[in-house]
Amino acid sequence: MASAGATITRYRPLLLLVGSLAAAAVLLALFLFSPKVRAIQQLREAAAERQSRVSESLRQWSEMSERRDVRARAWEEALARAAGRVPHGPELEGFMEELSALAVRHHLRAFRLTPSGEMRWAAGGPDQGPAPVASAPEPQDGLTPGGADAGASAAAGESPPTELRYRVLFTSTYPDLADLLDDLPRMRRLVTVRSVKVAMKEGALETALEISIFHRGSP
């Protein structure tokens, strides 16, 4: 035991020197490599940030594509519904019946329906002047009434949908007129309201509507 203690005592300066050199080497390594370690850490953080931005961009692009697909499907469905409301022939009897039912439902009085250009207001009332009874509908934004089916027909060389214009004259109250205008676009047949004219005459509200309906085939 005494010899072991003496040996440690003898080599203590050497051990201290070795320990100091080891500590100095560690400190020197930290001093030399810490900038590189920090640079590597910064590169990792920058790469992670770029990856996060790329992932967010991909997520937004995916959402935009999905929304675009949803809007495209909704547009195609709307065009298909509109095309389904344009029959392959005039089919005026069903249209007249449905319009007459609306007139009864909304309490319209002195109800009259004629092809546009043939009816004038009686007793000096408003007159909209002559208009064609049948004509090709004017395209809107590259589409014709009847939607995608009409566009496909035109591309295939078929004639575009035929427009039939009618003038509707009646007397009513303001609420009944508003309800009628609200119901017209919901008819089974595609109906477009081209003009509305109202006039008070002897305490009664007289209305002149010019509407258009469409069908495929010859006028």
207 Cβ partners below 8 Å, 6+ apart?
168, 169, 170, 171, 172, 177, 196, 197, 198
- Same domain, yes or no: 60 and 106: no
CA 203 from centre of chain: 44
147-173 average pLDDT score: 70
- Same domain, yes or no: 102 and 9: no
C-beta separation of 213 from 95 below 8 A: yes
Q: CATH number for the domain including 135?
A: 3.30.70.60
Q: Is the entire prediction scored with pTM above 0.85?
A: no
- Same domain, yes or no: 203 and 173: yes
CA-nearest of 213, 24, 199, 10 to 113 is 213
> How much helix, strand and coil, in percent to the nearest 5, is found in the chain?
55, 20, 25
- Same domain, yes or no: 97 and 76: no
The one-letter amino acid at 177: L
User: What does pLDDT average to over the chain?
Assistant: 74
- Same domain, yes or no: 58 and 152: no
pLDDT-wise least confident of 54-68, 154-168, 179-193, 199-213: 154-168
Asked which of 50, 67, 84 is the last residue of a domain, the reply is 84
2-10 average pLDDT score: 62
Q: Which residue has the higher pLDDT, 163 or 66?
A: 163
Domain encompassing residue 51: 1-84
- Same domain, yes or no: 129 and 160: yes
- Same domain, yes or no: 98 and 189: yes
- Same domain, yes or no: 76 and 177: no
Whole-number pLDDT of residue 32: 66
Please, which pLDDT band fits residue 159 given cuts at 50, 70 and 90? low
- Same domain, yes or no: 79 and 175: no
Residue with tokens 């009874």, as numbered in its chain: 133
- The dihedral region occupied by 157, where left means phi > 0, alpha psi between -120 and 50, and beta the remainder, is left
- Same domain, yes or no: 75 and 100: no
46-75 average pLDDT score: 82
Is the predicted pLDDT of residue 125 greater than 70, yes or no?
no
Is the predicted pLDDT of residue 101 greater than 90, yes or no?
yes
- Cα 188–193–198 angle (5° rounding)? 130
Pairwise CA distance, residues 155 & 158, whole Å: 7
- Same domain, yes or no: 36 and 109: no
Where does residue 13 rank: exposed (0-12), middle (13-18), buried (19+ CB within 10 A)?
Answer: exposed
Whole-number pLDDT of residue 155: 42
Please, which pLDDT band fits residue 38 given cuts at 50, 70 and 90? confident
Lookup: tokens for 142: 């590259």
- Same domain, yes or no: 195 and 100: yes
Domain count, the chain: 2
Pairwise CA distance, residues 94 & 142, whole Å: 30
Q: What is the dihedral of CA 130, 134, 140, 146, to 10 degrees?
A: 150
Count the alpha carbons within 13 Å of 133 in the hemisphere toward its beta carbon.
7
Lookup: tokens for 160: 């575009």
pLDDT digits (tens, 9 = 90+) for 68-99: 888 888 888 877 777 778 888 888 999 999 99
174-184 average pLDDT score: 92
Asked which of 84, 109, 135 is the last residue of a domain, the reply is 84
